[in-house]
Amino acid sequence: MSEQQIKITLAQLNPTVGDVTGNAAKARAARDKAKADGADLVVLSELFIAGYPPEDLVLKPAFQSACRAAIEELARETEDGGPAMLIGTPWVEDGKLYNACALLDGGRIAALRFKANLPNYGVFDEKRLFARGPASGPVTVRGVRIGVPICEDIWLEESEDYENVVECLAETGAEILIVPNGSPYARDKADLRLLIVVARVTESGLPLVYLNEVGGQDELIFDGASFALNADLSVAAQLPAFEENITTLTWRKTADGWRCNGPITAQLEGDKADYAACVLGLRDYVRKNGFPGVLLGVSGGIDSALCAAIAVDALGADKVRGVMLPFRYTAQVSLDDAAKLAAALGIRYEILPIADAVNGFETILAPVFKGLERDITEENLQARARGTLLMAISNKTGAMVVTTGNKSEMSVGYATLYGDMNGGFNPIKDIYKTEVFRLSSLRNAWKPDGALGPSGEVIPVNIIIRPPTAELRENQTDQDSLPPYEVLDAILERLVEREEPLATIIEAGFDRDVVTRVDRLLNIAEYKRRQAAPGVKVTRKNFGRDRRYPITNRFRDFGKALPEPDEKLVTRTSRASAEAFEG
């Protein structure tokens, strides 16, 4: 390193949880690239060697030992005089487990820094896994003092439980802040990250490198989109989103401190980012779990059409199989549209009529159902016959069944357990029906970089404009059972994402009867959601990771105005701590 510059390589990579050997190999390859670039330091993301988030896997002593052994081996390799490495790892010290970042240099573990602020909200659950680390000073790399706050160390608001790690680093002489992150994607998250980083740079007066993981891990998508800000808040570098990237930045010391002018990549926003997240989530779920491909029921409807397009973009047409499973209520237009979709995407496609299966079930059940009226039970037999056949093909071929229900359906239970809910993963589980329409139209006009599907119109326009229907009875449409999707989704967004009281939603202009009915459906469908396949998270609050309600739950919001709390009933001793009564 010359006296006035330091080269830092950002390794925005896609680790796999539990693949310690594979993750170490990725880190090793990144260091080789950094060495070729003449870098002084290569940086990897939070808990990289373990994969993030490792959840309770990180509590296994054998896993902790494997991670440490890999870190020690990587440390020994830095004896070659090449770049130092800053890498995230679980670390046990004095009987406590920490979320750590290790500086490897000169053939040894030169320094360790432990995460001080542990997130315990939304998708995060770190307080039950890790001990809090102390706020520590910077580490030194080639004579430059580098501050290493880890992810949440720059995120938390001031509180009694908050450790101001950045303030501590600034006061102890840090010159550049490098923040390894495991920050999952959510809609508009990039704006929030930038806001947080701007606040930390403003407070500290230091440039900041924000390095994020990329890739899918179960429901979570990590979008990468790593970036750096100079101390004057100008953008020093911006890496691409939703793809691996290794970029070496040259930082030069000026009269005003360290500064960098690196590459700046335009970012995906809005619906384009959501679509790219769905593609990446499905791709990594399939590949990391070792499935040879996927199959899905293709109904001629918009949900399965969008899922088929996402699957082809994620995996390639040769790894996607579409199956049409018609019954007597399946319209010819559905058959035609499904065939056009399959042809446009170039996927394997077959038709398996289900009449024999459904009629067989009804024959078997006839003695049990004698004297009872036909109802939704017979409709559900159709969905369950389809689910059984798809799962049979999955068992025989090893291909994973893609589930195709959208968030509107999952919210109100407009889905059949052990029928259309069968499957291993759902790329549109967190996408409302109105958004399904938008993403379908978007995909016909655009496809993300790296997508493996064809360009142009891949979803027949008739599928997009035709009224949605489950085709479980004559002339059925979704709106026979549900409010218009524009109304339904607007109410659901307020109930699910915002947790608004019914009174507030009604005051906003929504019909009271519709709101109370939607809320009731949302509540009683919880048992179905508990049995649903995992799926990509794109909103602030998805089902499963974020929104966890009890199935057995008698509380109901009846839409009445909320009563004001009566502070007169709360005495001083009510708020007193238990310690005040000791002795």
- Euclidean distance between the first and final Cα of the chain, in Å? 63
Residue closest to 161 by CA, chosen among 97, 117, 114, 100: 117
Look at residue 473 in the predicted model and tell me its pLDDT.
Answer: 60
Residue 518 to residue 516: CA distance in whole angstroms? 6
Residue closest to 48 by CA, chosen among 92, 17, 76: 17
Residue 279 to residue 37: CA distance in whole angstroms? 32
Verify whether residue 493 is a known catalytic residue.
no
**Residues in the chain where the model's pLDDT stays below 70:** 1-3, 122, 156-161, 468-481, 546, 571-583
Look at residue 578 in the predicted model and tell me its pLDDT.
Answer: 46
Look at residue 556 in the predicted model and tell me its pLDDT.
Answer: 78
Rg (CA), the chain: 27
From 7, 115, 319, 429, active-site residue: 115
Residue closest to 438 by CA, chosen among 302, 346, 300: 302
Verify whether residue 46 is a known catalytic residue.
yes
From 7, 26, 46, 213, active-site residue: 46
Per this entry, what is the length of the chain? 583
Look at residue 560 in the predicted model and tell me its pLDDT.
Answer: 77
Residue 384 to residue 463: CA distance in whole angstroms? 24
Verify whether residue 288 is a known catalytic residue.
no
Look at residue 428 in the predicted model and tell me its pLDDT.
Answer: 96
From 151, 168, 260, 278, active-site residue: 151
Query: What are the distances in angstroms from CA 127 to CA 90, 133, 151, 163, 578?
Result: 14, 11, 14, 14, 23
Look at residue 172 in the predicted model and tell me its pLDDT.
Answer: 93
Residue 93 to residue 107: CA distance in whole angstroms? 20
Residue closest to 382 by CA, chosen among 402, 353, 409, 407: 353
User: Token pair of 535, please?
Assistant: 């799926």
User: Token pair of 313, please?
Assistant: 């973009």
The structure tokens 């709390």 sit at 565
Look at residue 26 in the predicted model and tell me its pLDDT.
Answer: 97
Look at residue 79 in the predicted model and tell me its pLDDT.
Answer: 95
Phi then psi dihedrals of residue 245, to 5 deg: -160, 135
Residue 470 to residue 224: CA distance in whole angstroms? 38
Quickly count: other Cβ atoms within 10 Å of residue 582's Cβ: 6
Q: 240, exposed or middle or buried, with CB in 10 Å at 0-12, 13-18, 19+? A: buried
CA atoms within 13 A on the CB side of 326: 15
Residue closest to 209 by CA, chosen among 36, 86, 113: 86
